[in-house]
Amino acid sequence: MSDNEVPGLTPRTVAALLGAGEALAQQVRTKILHSPRPVFLYYIEQTFDALRTKLARGLDPHPDTPAEQLCLYLMVAYAARLTGSLDADLIRIHHALLADHDVLVEFGRVGGHPDPSYNFVALGDALTGHGMSSFFAPFETDGLVA
């Protein structure tokens, strides 16, 4: 198995997700220094990088935190928009992630932007202090966020 082969995902899907993760992390990087929430954005960037590392190592990108779940959802949506379609892998991942993040996704949507874009500062503003720490914390054993 090569570095980019992930069990259950085609090499095309892995490549699309890696590209989407890099593009989204780059969007975050460009805003960190000029943002009212640089620490929050730094952790978001690190979340995209952690997911990309899992994929590059051939590991299942199963999210361990709500932040990873949202970022993986955004990577799938970005990849689908750039490729013009959802292949079977992306559809499966998208459906698994969508239910828990409808509200969070709506907070950060950027309307009218030509590229798939997301406003993480708006998301950070919407989270309370406790909500922000829970966002980056591992899921509880019962599958619910603390």
Query: Span 29-51, mean pLDDT?
Result: 91
Q: What is the pLDDT of residue 141?
A: 60
Give how far Cα 35 sits from Cα of 13, 41, 45, 87, 120, Å: 32, 8, 13, 35, 10
Q: Structural domain boundaries of the chain?
A: 11-136
Q: What is the pLDDT of residue 73?
A: 84
Query: Span 118-124, mean pLDDT?
Result: 76
CA 72 to chain centre: 3
Distinct helix (H) and strand (E) counts, the chain: 6, 0
Plot region of 24 (φ>0 → left; ψ -120 to 50 → alpha; else → beta): alpha
Alpha carbon distance 83, 117 (integer Å): 15
Under 8 Å CB-to-CB from 143, ≥6 apart: which residues?
Answer: none
> In the chain, what percentage of residues exceed pLDDT 70?
73
pLDDT 10s digits, 48-101: 999 999 999 988 888 888 888 889 888 888 888 877 766 777 777 766 665 555
Alpha carbon distance 115, 124 (integer Å): 21
Question: pLDDT-based confidence at 24, cuts 50/70/90?
Answer: very high
